[in-house]
Structure 1
Amino acid sequence: MSAIMDSSSNQNRKRSEASLRAAEHWRNKKRKPDISENDTGDSKDQAIIVASSDDDAAEDSSSSSVEEVKPDKSDKDCSGTRDGVKKSPIQLFYDASADLEPEKMDKERNYNAVTLSDMIGMPDLRSSFQFNFAIDLEFFLGHVHRSKESKTITFVLGSDLLSPEVKDEVQKRYGVDASDIKVDLPKRFGTHHTKMMVNFYENETCEIIIMTCNLQPIDFSALTQMCWRSGRLSRASSSNPGKPRFKTDIIRYLKRYRKQKINELADTLAEFDMSGIDVELVASVPGNFNLARTADDSEEYGYGKLYQVLKRNDLLLGNEDTDKEYNVLAQATSISYPFALKEKNTASVFSHIICPLIFSRNSDRLFDVLEPGTKSFRDHQIKHSYNPHIIYPCAKDIALSGTGFYSGQAIHFKYDTSAIHRNQFEQNIKPYLYKWRASHKNAGREETPPHVKLYMCDNGDNWKTLRWVLMASHNLSKQAWGARRELRYRSADPSTYEISSYELGVLIPSSSDHKLVPVFDSRHQRKVTDQGDVPVRIPFILPPERYSSDDKPWSAYSNYGSLKDKFGHTWEGLTN
């Protein structure tokens, strides 16, 4: 396209020769756009990319390829069973990097996977709201079905996207009536990190899709992504309108934008039947919050929402559960600055807020934010009998990936750039690090680094079943989950906290009626035979593999010396 929007500081970030060479490799994988009677433009026009700004946990919007679209193999209702086999509530996106060396790639990596075209390429799609962090317009619009009837698409993100000239060009080339809404971000370092689609169709149905991907090529060509789909929702009958928790929570979330058009979207969704949705919404919005009066039906966000959801589904653990040894896991693609300091000791979101929250049943108060440092967290693990896991790619995971160091631009952790970063790493991160890439075969996804974020807890059975699973956009940062405003540690009371960013995810709860069973491919899927079991697709092996003594976490700002990726390139590190 002829118009190119400024992509902020992300576009100006310097990348090494290795990254640029890998990106060049993917330029040859472009999909030729369909030609329709509405298409009168030049197919060689450049992409429009726009992204929000962020702190040291920023997501990079640099990219240079277009996904090779695969046939629609997904179930249209996205629920129940498929070919007599139960489906996972969350699904992987099709891994386009498998096309690079198809003879070497395990076909299982794309088992039960969906493509971008599966979600926006339907002929009966009439209008869509696209909530996201970074959007490459040409890439995205190339997957929208061309038809004589104009489609209406509203983009919601943290930066301006559409100039009048770009709107006209989008209408002319793609037959799309496009508009954008710039989200208000009142907090410093706050981002619009939510990734959601709300699609409306000809037959008066709609679908809600919550996902982990930006709408740009690198997310589909070099990274592991996941999504949850509501399936087609019908209008609620007047006799049974239904008010499930998911419906209440998503309407509340949308109203928090305080934008007229999004308010209208919320009012429209209120007319649809969501009684069949059995996942919980976990959202974050900018603001100051107080958990002191939390209840099952109160409006909560950030870590307060996670606490509420676990509590009302009876999923919190307490002192009486110490007869088993539990596993708690956070798999993220960005680890940010500590949220509290006390002298040289640091407090991190996973270790000092989320883990105490999970083990707070039967407490006479909400839970305690742990005092900064190593001792408080280790004492808590011993008291409640659990093992923390942080899955984050090491440098070798990135080097050996299908696209080499190129994929590392979307994964962020500054762990050696200051004394505070180093202290957090040594105290709260390093002892609990596990690899993305297992040494044994991982159904294909070990060669595709993550952009998905997953949080989970098992049932004290060494990962045979899961107590709950959260798929979300939340990284390990105080901006996403919330924390007290002051950096210096002053109180263990978690009641008051501040959130800076918009985030969105879904939590899948287990219950007395069904167990959640992790599956990694079709072979594991077929082993889920109990009628009450629910398979949950996991893109990494459980139990995960711990870092070895010579493994280092990936950071785009670090120099990895003689380590070479699969293209023979080294990584010298980006400059700040």
Structure 2
Amino acid sequence: MPEKPPPVGARKRTQEHWEKFEYRKKSKVNNEQSDSVDQVKRSPNIIDLTSDNDSPEETSTTDVSYIEPIHSSADEADQKLPSSSNENQETTAPFRLIKSDIYDSNRASQHFITLEEIFGDRSIAKSWLFSFQYELDYILPMFPLHAEITIVAQNGTILPVSQPNSKVLTLLARLKTLLVNLPPYSCHHSKMVINLYNNGDCQLFIPSNNFTSAETNLPTQIVWSSPRLKSSSCESSSSAFKDSLLTYLKGYEINLKPLVAVLETVDFLPLDDSGSQFVYSHPKVAGCGLSQLSTLLRDKKHTHLIDQSTHHYLCQTSTIGSPIKAGLRSPGNLFTHYMIPLFSGLLDPKTNAKANPGRKANEIPNLKERFDTNHIKPYIVYPTAQELQKSAMGYLAGGWFHYHWLRNQVSQDVHQLLRSWGVFHKRQTHTTDARKATPSHTKFYMKSTGTCLTDSKRSPLRTPEWVLYTTANLSLNAWGTLTSKPRNYEVGVLFKSSEDNAIELQSVTDLVYSPFIGTGETIGDGKPEFLKRKKTLVMVPFDIPPKPYGELDDSFCISRNYVEPDSLGRYHQPQG
């Protein structure tokens, strides 16, 4: 493997490289929130950082290998999982932080993963890739020479090989490309890898990133990995996870029969036994998206109970769509005005209007008062402009974050309403963290119950009742409604706590960047009922609890003209 060039002056070269960013002549397109935005042209070797606009032409050849790694003072020694007072407790940790060539070059941790580990296993026989963007110069060299690769994509999102060699040409000769026909304003936003190994084992990966070098290395990215799943010669037992995954795959109007045939022989019960469920959005399949998630969470409703506990609903996302209007008297936010009322039991759209003449189907008058009465506290974790400016790579890491709250008066009004409710939160910034406030491209939705304590180790957010990790941003295109299908393809995994399974939240700082890992803390207050259950460790990109916006904080708006330079001395170029 060729050595990387020395990092002398790399910051300056990086700045000069990105200053050459070229914009297209404007033409109207629609992003995943169905908002009209301006598409920008670029030269073939530049990535358009507005990747969550879901334009079919957003691909990349950007190479970040020459960017100077950011060194930290942390010990490079591998860090251990936090210990538990119950040595017999079974703990699984299916989440890993994608190791960045920029931030993590001198750090080692068992909580890292790389795309090379996912794609480069020499025992891979076949690999199916689902994504919104492919940079073949970046990913193909990672695969073993004998691998058979199938790419599922929408038209215009695959950047072809520009630097062929004998290995890449051999892989290309066997490469299959399946293009998805999409309805208007839709995108193939799913990100998933399904590997079949020589011994018949199968493994699933859901990364938060598309398969380009810039997106993998600049924002924070996390991967969910299944265990190695065994093939069964006899008819496998019923699996809800498997049934949902196969329904998603069979909904494609492309030839995925070879993949379906493989998965039908795989035993998915280890995922069911861990309390996991496959959750998806699909424009051609009924009962998916928000409808599916609402059904899976119907046993978690609580507003009918006499309960003084605080119920914490949290969404961490990289895109916040336009205000929703359907079924509401006034425009609102998808999470606060529709999802939380559905999941909590405050709203039953089938009976709401009938039981309250003159009320719209999804309308809840005095919603904030109803939240307070039912002890519901909403959180939306989204990066501030100030975090972007101070992050290690500055505005370069911000091109995947879309919340156009300044676009019109309605968007501004809803944004101000959420600010007045104290909904917006940000991750804490730690000097020991090489990433500092670098934003995360992940999407998490979760619910916890308990007294809101300032002590991080005792925060109820540490032990959620359910957590959804997904590719679906906070938009109607990604989720749909109870009566309308989503427009996008999305995938995710839902974890639910039960008598047999517990969930523990730990932040990236806890697991990777903190110098205090392994000091023996026990999550869950040491309660026997927590310790006796199997435990799933969920890594999240924000600190626990996240920090409320300050008075001077503003949600980052990619279409805004910021006058402040970032940590690299660069100025933001408004997009969209």
TM-score grouping bracket, smaller chain normalisation: 0.7 to 0.9
The question of 1:226 aligning with 2:222 is answered yes
Pairwise CA distance, 1:513: 2.6
> Given that residues 399 and 558 in structure 2 are in contact (C-alpha distance below 8 angstroms), is that contact kept between their aligned partners in structure 1?
yes
Counterparts in 2 of 1:443 and 1:375: CA distance versus 1, 3 Å: farther
Taking structure 1 as reference, are residues 216 and 512 closer, same or farther at Cα in structure 2, changes over 3 Å only? same
| CA displacement, residues 19-59 of structure 1 (integer Å, 9 cap, x when unaligned) | 972755999xxxxxxxxxxxxxxxxxx87989999758999
Q: Does 1:386 align with 2:376?
A: yes
Asked if 1:454 corresponds to 2:444, the answer is: yes
Question: Is the Cα contact below 8 Å between 2:236 and 2:267 reproduced in 1?
Answer: yes
Q: 1:164 to 1:116 in 2, by over 3 A?
A: closer
TM-score normalised per structure 1: 0.76
Q: Distance in 1 between matches of 2:571 and 2:159?
A: 40
Range 131-140 or range 362-371, more displaced: 362-371
Alpha-carbon offset, residue 545 of structure 1: 0.6
Shift, 1:385, TM fit = 1.4
Matched, 1:204 2:200: yes
- Offset of residue 424 of structure 1: 2.6
Distance 1:364 1:178, change over 3 A: closer
Does residue 185 of the first structure (1) align with residue 182 of the second (2)? yes
| Corresponding residue for residue 98 of structure 2 | 93
Map of 1:527 onto structure 2: 521
Q: Secondary structure at the match of 1:381?
A: helix
The alpha-carbon distance between structure 1 residues 386 and 165, as it changes in their structure 2 partners (threshold 3 A), is closer
What are the within-5 Å matches in structure 2 for residues 396-411 of structure 1?
396-411=386-401
Corresponding position of 2:245: 250
Relative distance call for 1:351 and 1:67 in structure 2 (3 A) is farther
Q: Deviations over 1:482-517 (max 9, x none)?
A: 03xxxxxxxxxx4x1231000000011111233322
- 3-state SS of paired residue (2:322): coil
Letter of the structure 2 residue corresponding to residue 302 of structure 1: G
Shift of 1:567: 0.9
Indicate which of 473, 476, 488 corresponds to 2:474. 476
Corresponding position of 1:283: 280
- Separation (CA, whole Å) in 1 of partners of 2:19 and 2:269: 47
Contact 1:321 1:384 in 2 (8 A): no
Q: Tell me, what secondary structure is at the counterpart of 2:102?
A: helix
Letter in 1 for 2:95: I
Moved more, 322-331 or 563-572: 563-572
Residue identity in the other structure for 1:251: L
Amino acid of the residue matched to residue 127 of structure 1? K
Deviations 1:56-97 (A, max 9, x none): 8999645622469999x999xxxxx99998342322222333
User: What's the % identity of the aligned pairs?
Assistant: 23
Tell me, in whole angstroms, the C-alpha distance in 1 between the residues paired with 2:187 and 2:208.
15
The aligned runs of 1:126-525 (5 Å cut-off) are 126-145=125-144, 147=145, 150-160=146-156, 173=169, 175-176=171-172, 177-186=174-183, 188-238=184-234, 241-260=236-255, 262-277=256-271, 278=274, 279-287=276-284, 289=286, 300-311=287-298, 314-320=299-305, 322-340=307-325, 345-360=330-345, 376-428=366-418, 431-440=421-430, 446-461=436-451, 462-483=460-481, 494=482, 496-520=483-507, 521-522=510-511, 523=516
Alpha-carbon distance in structure 2 between the residues aligned to 1:74 and 1:68: 28
Q: Hey, what's the Cα distance between the residues in 1 that align with 2:263 and 2:463? A: 34
> Take 2:389 and 2:565, find their aligned partners in 1: how far apart are those partners?
6
8 Å contact kept, 1:340–1:347: yes
Query: Shift of residue 275 of structure 1?
Result: 1.0
In 2, Cα distance between equivalents of 1:381 and 1:407: 35
**Aligned mates of 1:398, 1:164 — CA distance in 2:** 31
Structure 2 SS opposite 1:138: helix
Describe the shift of the 1:219–1:538 C-alpha distance in structure 2 as closer, same or farther (beyond 3 A): same
Separation in 1, partners of 2:346, 2:573:
47
| 1-structure distance, mates of 2:87, 2:171 | 34
TM-align CA RMSD: 4.1
Aligned 8 A contact 1:52 1:134 in 2: no
Contact 1:242–1:273 (Cα < 8 Å) also in 2: yes
TM-score (norm 2): 0.76
Instruction: Tell me if structure 2 keeps the 8 A contact 1:344–1:420.
Output: no
Matched to 2:237, the amino acid is: G
Q: Which amino acid aligns with 1:541?
A: D
Question: How far, CA to CA, are the matches of 2:497 and 2:360 in structure 1?
Answer: 27
Residue by residue over 1:378-405, the C-alpha shift from the partner in whole angstroms, topping out at 9 and shown as x without a partner, is 1331242110000000001111112111
For the structure 1 residues 370 and 282, does the alpha-carbon distance in structure 2 shift closer, same or farther, using more than 3 Å as the test?
A: farther
Whole-Å separation in 1 of the counterparts to 2:230 and 2:416: 51
Deviation at 1:330, TM superposition (A): 0.5
Task: Give how far 1:344 is off.
Answer: 8.8
- In the TM superposition, residue 257 of structure 1 has moved relative to its aligned partner by 0.6
Hey, what's the Cα distance between the residues in 2 that align with 1:22 and 1:344? Answer: 50
Aligned 8 A contact 1:415 1:425 in 2: yes
Shift of 1:420: 2.5
Alpha-carbon distance change, 322 to 126 in structure 1, aligned in 2, over 3 angstroms = same
Amino acid at match of 2:549: Y
Matches of 2:521 and 2:87, distance apart in 1: 15
Q: Provide the rounded CA distance (Å) in 2 between the counterparts of 1:443 and 1:50.
A: 27
- Alignment partner of 1:560 out of 559, 562, 568: 562
Q: Which region of structure 1 is more displaced relative to structure 2, 226-235 or 336-345?
A: 336-345
Q: Deviations over 1:133-184 (max 9, x none)?
A: 1111111113223x3xx32111111114679998997875353421211112
CA distance in 2, matches of 1:560, 1:373: 36
1:308 deviates by 1.6
- Mapped to 1, the partners of 2:340 and 2:441 lie a distance apart of 22
Distance 1:111 1:376 in 2: 48
- Contact 1:141–1:174 (Cα < 8 Å) also in 2: no
Structure 1: distance between partners of 2:413 and 2:366: 15
Deviations for 1:88-122, whole angstroms, at most 9, x for unmatched residues?
2322222333247x5xxxx58x5512111110111
Deviations 1:512-570 (A, max 9, x none): 23332212324567534734243322221121111111111112210122x22111222
> Separation in 2 of the partners of 1:172 and 1:390?
43
Q: Evaluate the alpha carbon distance shift between residue 332 and residue 432 of structure 1 in structure 2; reply closer, same or farther with a 3 A threshold.
A: farther
